[in-house]
């Protein structure tokens, strides 16, 4: 008789373990579905703007008086002393090849020390900032820094590739820096002020010509101010 009880207990055990497993599986599937749904939703939060919509935004920027909250930034600020790097190893995100740059060589060359700085700090800042731009197709073109991709290049500069929804042309603008990407981001998100270094706040409309140039819009005769 006792073995019948043992078998019953074992069967009950198997039944409950299976039920719990099925429940866990169900819940994790539900979680996965919610995750998938929310990532799709966040992708569609900022639609891509058409050329007409960007023109309307430019119009709004040029015609709307900026808020009265100018700030020229702190006059005194702490200087962060960082160790001067002599060498920078650039790893190309396209081909994966390494290109080594030496500060002294660049300073002696026609590129100037600025280019070494652009490589060392500017490039990473641009990479981070470009991720924040919503509403247009935008990406960095770093090919000028890769000796493998651009063996004959003379000028080492950061370029931007911009494509506006509905347009077949992609605009390639070179010699861009971090500030350029910041003003594009501010413009597309509908801001009227530009936040610069040292917490300065200035009317974004002052950069209207540069914004037009970066987005591939022809220059207009009238002054933005």
Q: Residue 1: CB partners within 8 Å, gap ≥ 6?
A: none
Angstrom distance (rounded) from CA 72 to CA 202:
7
Query: Exposure of 150 by Cβ count < 10 A (0-12 exposed, 13-18 middle, 19+ buried)?
Result: middle
Residue number with CB closer to Zn ion (150 or 191): 150
CB 144 within 8 A of CB 159: yes
What is the x/- site pattern for Zn ion, positions 115-154, by CB under 5 A? Answer: -------------------------------x-xx-----
Which range, of 11-19, 92-100, 124-132, 214-222, touches Zn ion by CB under 5 A?
92-100
Nearer Cβ to Zn ion (144/173) = 144
Distance CA 121, CA 182 (A): 15
Shortest Å, Cβ 94 to Zn ion: 5
Q: Is 91 in the site for Zn ion (CB under 5 A)?
A: no
* Residue the block writes with tokens 């058409």: 50
> DSSP character for 125?
H
Any contact of residue 94 with Zn ion (CB under 5 A)?
yes
Any residues with CB less than 8 A from the CB of 113 and at least 6 apart, and which?
103, 106, 107
Q: Note whether 164 binds Zn ion by CB under 5 A.
A: no
Residue 92 touching Zn ion (CB under 5 A): yes
Binding string, 25-64, against Zn ion, x = CB under 5 A?
A: ----------------------------------------
User: Closest approach of Cβ 146 to Zn ion, in Å?
Assistant: 3
Residues in contact with Zn ion by the rule CB under 5 A: 92, 94-95, 146, 148-149
């Amino acid at each position: 008789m006792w073995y019948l009880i043992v078998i019953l207990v074992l069967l009950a055990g198997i039944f409950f373990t299976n039920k719990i497993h099925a429940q866990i599986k169900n819940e994790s599937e539900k979680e996965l579905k919610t995750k998938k749904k929310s990532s799709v939703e966040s992708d569609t939060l900022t639609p891509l703007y058409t050329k007409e919509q960007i023109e309307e935004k430019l119009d709004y920027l040029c015609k709307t008086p900026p808020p009265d909250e100018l700030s020229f930034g702190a006059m005194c600020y702490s200087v962060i002393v960082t160790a001067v790097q002599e060498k920078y190893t650039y790893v190309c995100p396209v081909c994966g090849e390494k290109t080594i740059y030496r500060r002294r060589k660049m300073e002696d060359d026609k590129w100037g020390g600025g280019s070494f700085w652009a490589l060392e700090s500017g490039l990473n800042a641009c990479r981070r900032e470009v991720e924040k731009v919503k509403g247009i197709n935008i990406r960095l073109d770093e090919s000028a820094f890769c000796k493998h991709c651009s063996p004959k290049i003379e000028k080492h500069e950061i370029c931007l590739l911009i494509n506006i929804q509905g347009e077949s042309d992609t605009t390639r603008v070179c010699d861009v820096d971090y500030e350029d990407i910041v003003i594009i981001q501010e413009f597309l998100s509908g801001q009227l002020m530009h936040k610069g270094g040292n917490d300065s706040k200035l009317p974004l409309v002052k950069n209207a010509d540069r914004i037009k140039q970066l987005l591939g819009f022809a220059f207009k005769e009238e002054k933005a101010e």
